[in-house]
Structure 1
């Protein structure tokens, strides 16, 4: 009987595709078919070089897959639709419109009995075996999306990420994030020992005098103010600044994304903006801005931030993000500019600016203060009307943003001025301060195939530094539930949303309450939404 092998020949950007090439192996007298065997060996070598993994690891069905994953030379084919290549429990999965016929369904055939090549083919019988799982689709490649992807990676659950940006460094990555005990616990639970250690080593740890407030005009250190009381029915959280080992732990958003992306790079599709979704009988398609659709996924997780169209579609418009009217500026300068502050987390407060209250928060870390090759960052926030981007364009970066920061801080104390006078002007960026519905995360009709994480679920002001820590808790919780279920399962999104609404709502309420006191913002029925 003729025997055949299907060979991966090409990989096109964005979508894995298969070209089918049929090679007839020897059926009798293998020694008389040396040329054919050499061709077959070359093909197998080509496959061996294709270490990329389109979706991930084989399904967790030991009885079915043991013979495939134990030997790299075993290849698995699904008839009529898809081709899988297994190597050391890794696999590629590609769609094909051609019909594959190899021996009989459910049978195993030796391709070549010669000493040089011994390869087995196993044919999948859709009538008797469970097909491979569709991937979980993730919209956005922010910190919550990437941490969720790492959780799925550890659990061998297939996934694909679709990100609007063209690369990881396509635009400014925002300010430094302070991590709470809850945030660190969530990240550690996902990454595993080795990856966690790399993450922990990258984080900055600040001790010194802890948190201090300085009068930006006089340069004097102010007594620590009591936490703001609850305002308008919202809650106030007095979260301890120190999160581990008596230290304040922080990391830049760019470093966090880079570390979370380790091992996930090949599953990220850049320049793909998700604008909605379409449910199918057995899954869901993500819909892109150009009208095209993704492969069918088992689920779609919306983690694309405050402008998530998936969140609006899923919630029927109940998930809203409000423009508070307040604006901020991110900036950074050489560490030498921070000598006048010393180690610690500092709030520079100007309550006498003619247009409204202004504050800057920065983290001066030991061990880095004397390294002039490094930069420390700062974040300026102000009441509505103080920070005004040129032409009201919040996406403006570089010198225009730097000039506005310098103008606002022009009359600050000389020991603080170097932070702005010596700033890296090209890195300065405006940002819009937004907040979800102050009452918390609303309820909507649950959809088992679609849910939301991070800012798409609960956007927060910078007050209290709560937003990022809440986002990674989403990733850890949803990842844990999916791992326990082995991927998509009815009830997973409902269980996740039930718990997320509790801590997410508390976080939104706290962030809004603090921002109302610190920035004078107020969200009413007339406040504009994004």
Structure 2
């Protein structure tokens, strides 16, 4: 069986690792010219869904590498007043709607550096990852599906998987009925060097999974630490792994987020420099007491970028004999619960196991895709709804359409 994955993000790479580990022929095609073409964010919070999926996909030594480079933050989402004094400390499984992990005895939480995790997920896949491959469309005939790319390349397989993110080209053909919406929320991301964060932020900001302060306008300053147990560029040496990870320093990721009306023109903001966005973050918090509004001024120069937060609108996914979707390509969610990466990773292993069912003859491909999509859309769109509800309360995010 040959599987074609469009998109070399975290979800697609996790699936590729799982399939290769289980002897399935898999090829990954990524539109970017290299894994480092675009700035894709900093800290990710992983819960049991994400951690266990990574464990199932990686070899033992690569999973050890993942653990050596992951932050064991305290399992709390902490709320501060605008003067950065403590207001409330919430167990993160309560906040993130993952109390079932506690009930099942699997609750666990890590903060990871997104770029480092992606590097680890790429290890051993060098021969099957193809870059500069901008997917154009697919053609499905009988038991074969063919992916066509803008540069004239094409690839034939038994199964095509769209793991190509919120703007998924695969989804536009596979599920033209899918709708996405502007959440009405915007964000400026940046990061502090750890020593600077400790100078201007309370101690909990470098200890708990995530800490946030919010004002009456629902403007939020949120932060989360990434403190490496072993520096990534040294961790591979500890384990005798030939590949070397990029050097990284300990940091605290930060986000200033709220309604789009406070941020102005999306077009102008996308064209602003990091320094201009950093100043905007400071200005947005100017009403906060004392020196709290100046906290973003201590963040790392050159680290700031702007995003528009979008959300999928839950829908009934129609069936297809040999094309499916995972992660943000099907259920994009706003980051209010910090669960997007975890749900994508869960998709990857669920789908990977269904592919193995086909390979060993216990199911047909159509049966496996039907079962995968039924479970994936149920829990995936459930988290989309929870994220939208939390975003509406915290950020004034637009609510999902009521009829859904």
Of 271, 278, 282 in structure 2, the residue corresponding to residue 402 of structure 1 is: 278
Could you give the per-residue CA deviations for residues 242-289 of structure 1, whole angstroms, max 9, x where no partner exists?
989986411122112111111112211111121321113441111223
Label 1:406 to 1:241 Cα distance change in 2 as closer, same or farther (>3 A): farther
State the TM-score, normalizing by the size of structure 1.
0.64
* Corresponding residue for residue 164 of structure 1: 31
1:264-413 to 2 correspondence within 5 Å?
264-290=125-151, 292-315=152-175, 317-339=176-198, 340-342=201-203, 343-352=207-216, 356-364=217-225, 374-388=250-264, 391-394=267-270, 398-412=274-288
* Partners of 1:331 and 1:429 within 8 A in 2: yes
Following TM superposition, by how much is the alpha carbon of 1:505 offset from its aligned partner in structure 2, in angstroms?
A: 1.9
Q: Distance between the aligned counterparts of 2:191 and 2:397, measured in 1?
A: 26
**How many residues end up aligned between the 2 structures?**
373
The alpha-carbon distance between structure 1 residues 419 and 199, as it changes in their structure 2 partners (threshold 3 A), is: farther
- For 1:161 and 1:427, locate their aligned partners in 2 and report how far apart those are by CA, in whole Å: 29
Distance in 2 separating the partners of 1:298 and 1:219:
54
**What are the within-5 Å matches in structure 2 for residues 21-420 of structure 1?**
133=1, 135-207=2-74, 210-216=76-82, 218-224=83-89, 238-239=97-98, 248-290=109-151, 292-315=152-175, 317-339=176-198, 340-342=201-203, 343-352=207-216, 356-364=217-225, 374-388=250-264, 391-394=267-270, 398-412=274-288, 416=292, 419-420=295-296
What CA RMSD, in Å, does the superposition of the two structures yield over aligned residues? 3.0
- Tell me the SS of whatever aligns to 1:160: strand
1:483-522, aligned counterparts within 5 Å?
483-486=356-359, 489-522=365-398
The change in CA–CA distance for 1:522 and 1:390 in structure 2 (over 3 A counts) is closer
Shift in CA distance, 373/436, structure 1 to aligned 2, threshold 3 Å: closer
- Superposition deviation, residue 210 in structure 1: 3.4
SS at match of 1:204: coil
Matched, 1:427 2:292: no
Partner of 1:448: 321
Structure 2, gaps ≥5 residues long: 230-247
The 3 A distance-change label for structure 1 pair 481 and 397 is: farther
How much does 1:308 deviate?
0.8
Match of 1:106 in 2: none
Q: Distance in 2 between matches of 1:375 and 1:506?
A: 32
1:329 shift after superposition: 1.2
Deviation at 1:485, TM superposition (A): 2.1
Give yes or no for contact 2:282–2:295 (8 Å, CA) kept in 1: no
Distance 1:389 1:156, change over 3 A: farther
Deviates more, 1:261-270 or 1:401-410: 401-410
Higher relative contact order (CA 8 A, sep 6+): 2
Distance 1:172 1:245, change over 3 A: same
Cα contact 1:345–1:361 (8 A) shared by 2: no
**Counterpart-to-counterpart distance in 2, 1:175 and 1:241:** 27
The structure whose residues are more often helix, as a share, is 2
Q: Which runs of 5+ in 1 are unaligned?
A: 1-132, 230-235
Taking a change above 3 Å as real, the CA distance of residues 294 and 522 of structure 1, as seen in their structure-2 partners, is same
- Alpha-carbon separation, structure 1, partners of 2:286 and 2:101: 32
